[in-house]
Structure 1
Amino acid sequence: MNAVTSIHPDELIRLPARRGVAVRLQQGQTLKLINTHGKQVVDTWAFNPDDLSEAMSMEHSRAFWLKLNPCKGDSLVTNKRRKILTLTEDSTPGVHDTLVAACDPTRYVQLGVVGHHDSCNENLFLALDALDLVVLETPSPLNLFMNVPVYQDGRIEFAEPVSEPGQYVCLKAEMDAIVVLSACPQDITAVNGMRPQDVHYCVI
């Protein structure tokens, strides 16, 4: 079950494989996300708690950076073009993704799965529901640690992450925010090295 956490500063919290969590951040707080075992993608969203229709936007952020992926020091912006999170630290090789939509039930049907399969889309709604919050649609997530090479001819590929165990990113809240994390349950493609695993996080 997806849990919403009241976190003490610096308390390290485990996010189980295939699950999601919603975390409230106050402006100035930083969320540290640790890829505990390496190779695990974490779909990440951020919302304005006073207006959930304002959410971190990959299309607006790419226009703000004039590139495909954020680097240390880059801020992510909302669909109202306001800064909501800043990537303040990144101990990984810096390979993340802003192009690919969150996995959902239809995606798994297309991949040949029969019956229920956990998904990041479901994790988003369950995590927010635990706060009695509802969003009307799923924004495109920041796919932390996800490796989606873009080739010269325009093709993309789902490749195994290059992050190693213990590597981490830090996201500073530029405004009060609700951040949702989903330890991606994808085990059909190479997205998580075919093996979804736990990650850990803390607020500092």
Structure 2
Amino acid sequence: MKTTKTEVPPGTGRAVRVAAGELVRVIDVDGGQVGDVFAFTGDFTEQHSVAHTRAAVDRLFPAVGEFFMTDRRRPILTLTEDTSPGEHDMLIPACDPARYAALGAPDHRSCAVNLREALAALDLSFAGPIPQPINVFMRIPVGQDGRLSWLTASSRAGDAITFRAELDCVVVVSACPQDLVRISDVRLSPLAIEIVHNGGTTS
């Protein structure tokens, strides 16, 4: 089956169009790199919603075989395969300029800006508030006391998480530029997006 691959350089974002039934794979090229994944319907009338997803699957974090729901409670993606340690987050919002201003770095790149720039590169735009992403390879365990821990990603070079598109959609992946809180490994590194067309498998 035909595949297409898009590199996401460190600290930047890229957007791809995915047809229903196709697979979209996010690859941690060098290991230890967190990515923010956003998904919108092709006409931008719906978007992936972590809140609706948690309500539908009764879980805080993603698991193979489960759906990701839109804000209209329709499946938009299904997690079909995960070769990483399986640590992904659906609690933390995308980093944004306000986050970095609070950390003393007001001119820092952010996943919120990456999202809008990636859409603009496809002549697309999204005017609404930044959705809460699926934070792939991000380790935010919840302790028994309810407190969150911010741990460094444990994903290895070549680890990947694969989704099947249930609707025609636009998927945006940001190789998170956060380097002030060590959620990624020693240095920021690239991600890659691989689309397997027609729902097939790579050859």
Shorter-chain TM-score tier: over 0.9
Cα distance in 1 between the residues matched to 2:112 and 2:5: 25
- For residues 144 and 83 of structure 1, the distance between their equivalents in structure 2, rounded to whole angstroms, comes to 18
Q: Which residue of 2 aligns with 1:38?
A: 31
Task: Please say if 1:107 is aligned against 2:92.
Answer: no
Mapped to 1, the partners of 2:121 and 2:154 lie a distance apart of 32
Displacement, 1:65?
0.8
Is the counterpart of residue 62 in structure 1 residue 54 in structure 2?
yes
Q: Deviations over 1:104-124 (max 9, x none)?
A: 1110111121x4111000000
Task: Using the TM superposition, name which of 158-167 and 95-104 deviates more.
Answer: 158-167
Runs of 4+ in 1 over 6 A off after TM superposition: none
Cα distance in 1 for residues equivalent to 2:15 and 2:193: 12
Task: Kindly indicate whether residue 89 of structure 2 is the aligned counterpart of residue 97 of structure 1.
Answer: yes
* Aligned-partner SS, 1:193: coil
- 1:76-95 equivalences under 5 Å are 76-95=68-87
Shift of 1:193: 2.2
Deviation at 1:174, TM superposition (A): 0.3
Distance, in Å, in 1 between the alignment partners of 2:89 and 2:110 is: 17
Deviation at 1:32, TM superposition (A): 1.3
Query: How far apart, CA to CA, are the structure 2 residues paired with 1:96 and 1:106?
Result: 23
Q: Determine if contact 1:188/1:194 at 8 Å carries over to the other structure.
A: no
Q: Which residue number in structure 1 is paired with residue 162 of structure 2?
A: 170
Q: Which of 2, 9, 15 is the equivalent residue of 1:22?
A: 15
Residue type at the aligned position of 1:126: E
SS of residue in 1 equivalent to 2:115: helix
Amino acid at match of 1:118: R
Partners of 1:68 and 1:14 lie apart in 2 by 29
Give the Cα separation in 2 of the matches to 1:194 and 1:76. Answer: 30
Rounded to whole Å, the distance in 1 between the matches of 2:183 and 2:149 is 10
Farther-moved stretch of structure 1 (166-175 vs 124-133): 124-133
C-alpha deviation, 1:9, in angstroms: 3.2
The total of aligned residue pairs comes to 195
Q: Letter of the aligned partner of 1:193 in structure 2?
A: D
Counterpart residue type for residue 197 of structure 1: S
Task: Please tell me the residue identity of whatever aligns with 1:189.
Answer: V
The runs of 5 or more residues in structure 2 that have no matched partner are 197-203
| SS in structure 1 at match of 2:2 | coil
Counterpart for residue 152 of structure 2: 160
Percent identical residues = 42
List per-residue Cα deviations over 1:169-200 (Å, max 9, x = no partner).
11110010000100000000111125210112
Q: 1:138 to 1:202 in 2, by over 3 A?
A: same
